[in-house]
Amino acid sequence: MSLTFAPDDRPVLLRGVRVQDDRVRGGQVLLAPEKAVRLDPIGEAILQRVDGSATFGQIIDDLAAAYDAPADQIAGDVQTFLQGLRARVFLGVA
Amino acid sequence: MSTSSSIAPPIAMLAELTHRCPLSCPYCSNPLELQAKDSELGTDAWADVFGQAADLGVLQLHLSGGEPAARPDLVDLTRAAAQAGLYTNLITSAIGLTPRRLDALEAAGLDHIQLSLQGVTAAMADHIGGYRGGYDRKMSIAAEIKARGIPLTLNAVMHRQNLDDLPRTIDMAVELGARRLEIACVQFHGWATLNRGALLPTREQTDATKQIVAKAQTRLRGVLAIDFVPPDYYSDYPKACMGGWGSAGLNILPDGTVLPCHAAESLKHLSFDKVTDRPLREIWYDSAAFNAYRGVDWLPDPCQSCARRDVDFGGCRCQALAIAGDAGATDPVCRKAPGRDRVDALLQAALEAGDSADLVYRVSAPTGTRPA
Average pLDDT, chain B: 95
Closest residue, chain B, to A82 (C-alpha): B222
Residue B354 confidence (pLDDT) = 86
Contact B360, B26 (CB under 8 A): yes
Average pLDDT value for residue range B30-56: 96
Put simply, the answer to whether A25 touches B89 (Cβ < 8 Å) is: no
Q: How far is CA B236 from CA B201, B231, B283, B315, B362, in A?
A: 16, 11, 34, 12, 30
pTM of the model: 0.96
* Phi, psi (rounded to 5 degrees) for B91: -100, 110
**pLDDT score of B365:** 56
* Burial (Cβ within 10 Å: 0-12, 13-18, ≥19) of residue B16: buried
Per CB-CB distance under 8 Å, the chain A contacts of B179 are: 14, 16, 33, 89
Pairing of strands B87-92, B112-117: parallel
In this predicted structure, what is the pLDDT of residue B355? 82
Residue A70 lies in a domain: yes
Chain A positions touching B221 (Cβ under 8 A) are: 1, 3, 87
Residue A3 lies in a domain: no
- Structural domain of residue A36, as residue ranges? 11-88
Residue A4 lies in a domain: no
Contact B339, B321 (CB under 8 A): no
Which is more confidently placed, B5 or A84? A84
Q: What are phi and psi of B121, to 5 degrees?
A: -130, 155
Q: Find the angle CA(B105)-CA(B108)-CA(B111) to the nearest 5 degrees.
A: 70
Q: Which are the contacts of B121, defined by CB distance < 8 A and separation ≥ 6?
A: B135, B165
Q: Is residue A82 in a domain?
A: yes
Arithmetic mean of pLDDT, B223-243 = 95
How close does chain B come to A60, measured CA to CA in Å? 22
User: Residue A21 is which amino acid?
Assistant: D
Confidence label for B366 from pLDDT (cuts 50, 70 and 90): low
| Residue A66 maps to a domain | yes
- Looking at the structure of chain A, the number of domains it has is 1
Q: Which of B57, B4, B108 has its CA nearest to residue A21?
A: B57
- Terminal Cα-to-Cα distance of chain B (whole angstroms): 51
Bridge partners of A12? Answer: A92
Report whether B320 contacts B328 (CB < 8 A): yes
B174 close to A (CB below 8 A): no
Which chain A residues are Cβ-neighbours of B151 within 8 angstroms? 14-17, 33
CATH number at residue A67: 1.10.10.1150
Asked whether residue A93 is assigned to any structural domain, the reply reads no
ipTM score for this prediction: 0.96
Q: Tell how far CA B167 is from the center of its chain.
A: 23
Residue A23 in contact with residue B56, Cβ under 8 Å?
no
Domain assignment present for residue A83? The answer is yes
The string of pLDDT tens digits covering residues B308-361 is: 999 999 999 999 999 999 999 999 999 999 999 999 999 999 999 988 889 999
Using the predicted structure, report yes or no on whether residue B282 has a pLDDT greater than 70: yes
pLDDT band with cut points at 50, 70 and 90 for residue B1: very low
Task: Say whether B59 and A15 touch across the interface (CB within 8 A).
Answer: no
What is the Cα–Cα distance from B293 to B309, expressed in whole angstroms? 13
Q: Do A24 and B112 touch (CB under 8 A)?
A: no
With contacts defined as CB-CB under 8 Å, which chain B residues touch A22?
57, 59
Residue B50, CA distances (Å) to B101, B272, B284 in order = 21, 19, 14
Question: The sheet that has A35-38: what strands, in order across it?
Answer: A18-21, A28-32, A35-38
Compute the average pLDDT of residues B25-39.
94
Q: Where does the pLDDT of residue A1 fall: very low under 50, low under 70, confident under 90, or very high at 90 and above?
A: confident
CB B273 within 8 A of CB B289: yes
Q: Which residue of B has its CA nearest to A34?
A: B60
What does chain B come to in residues? 372
φ, ψ for residue A29 (rounded to 5)?
-135, 140
d(Cα B21, Cα B42) in Å, to the nearest integer?
A: 18
Q: Which of B114, B151, B221 sits opposite A87 (nearest CB)?
A: B221
pLDDT of residue B5: 63
Q: What pLDDT score was predicted for residue B368?
A: 45
d(CA B90, CA B148): 15
